[in-house]
Structure 1
Amino acid sequence: MSRQRSRDTKAEWSLRRILHARGLRYRVDAVLPGLPRRRADILFPRQKVAVFVDGCFWHGCPVHKTVPKSNAAWWATKLARNVERDRETDAYLADLGWEVLRIWEHDDPDRAADRVEIVVRGGRGGP
């Protein structure tokens, strides 16, 4: 696990590069308001938009999720807690008036950037 990147993954870089080219400015790996131990991959503080680029394994992608065979019970608990923490973070930010976008690492970066841009520029409620 120590070799797993917690930031600057290929999916994050791809999305950030597209957003920057479209003129959007953001904070990277930013601490969330009121949640000092949780960070957003991309944060637009003025617009109150938090973007998370979730890895399929770590966040339970319904399409690509895998279950480790070794130490299965420990991994099941660990991965379920990750998903639970994601939902807690989403609910907390929504209560503060933030828009939360979750993007899977396998999502097309151009389409993901379209979603982010719509929300950041004021067209709330990306698909």
Structure 2
Amino acid sequence: MCEFFVKADPILYEQRTRTIRIHGVLTSIRLENMVWDILAEMAASEDRTTNNLIAQLHDEIVAHRGDVPNFASFLRVTCMRFMRRQLDGQQIERPLRVVTPSVTPPVTLARPQAVSLAASS
């Protein structure tokens, strides 16, 4: 399992600093490239810019919690929750399958076809 993570391209976890304007105030945010990519994906899914999305997230977290001591960490967790929600959505679309003990084969939930037992003449 660890090999998959260890072999990740170092560019993904290299950090990059961007300057974002929130209510006219320039703020520098330092995040990993992969986090910036996920934020861009989130913004694109809502037809907005990454900067606009970050400003909205900032406004909403401040309105909900007041001060945010570590906004960069909040953005990282937001990205992880976005990815988890996407994964959960994919799992919902899978067909429902009940797995029983290994003694019997797995059972797929489906209604059996009606069989006609009419006598032939």
TM-score (norm 2): 0.28
More helix by share: 2
TM-score (norm 1): 0.27
Greater Rg over alpha carbons, structure: 2
More strand by share: 1
